[in-house]
Amino acid sequence: MGILGSLFFAIGVMRQTIEAMGRLSGTYWDWNPHLPPALAAQKADYLFGGGLIVIAFVLQLASFFASSQPILTEAQTRAAPWVAGAATLVGFVVLRFAARHVAAGYEAEITSWLKKKAEQPK
């Protein structure tokens, strides 16, 4: 159920097009300059978060097919929480940087779409 839920979550966000975000940012007379960055950041964060949720559920499901024999030594088992904590912090920083980069690309596309739309004769 978790895999299905996360897939629908991710699909919903992926279907949010540049045009849809541009229309949402627009008004009858002009466009709100604060909405494109917010919508772009939201889409990027949802894409990364949804993707990670899908991966987590798939890995959890795959673990049922793996051997139940321990693969870590006693010393490795004691270090595992520290390694997992450090990997989580590093992963978060790297993925936040990547999400900001993706969001900047979406923001540029939305702004470009809005400017083209504003230049069209009414």
Asked if 113 and 19 touch (Cβ cutoff 8 Å), the reply is: yes
Asked if 117 and 26 touch (Cβ cutoff 8 Å), the reply is: yes
* Residue 27: band (very low, low, confident or very high) from pLDDT cuts 50, 70, 90: low
Note the pTM of the prediction, 2 decimals: 0.75
pLDDT above 80 for 54: yes
Asked if 54 and 2 touch (Cβ cutoff 8 Å), the reply is: no
Task: Provide the domain limits for residue 12.
Answer: 2-119
Based on the structure, what is the number of domains in the chain?
1
| pLDDT mean across residues, the chain | 85
Query: What pLDDT, in 10s, does the model give residues 67-83?
Result: 888 777 888 888 889 99
pLDDT above 70 for 97: yes
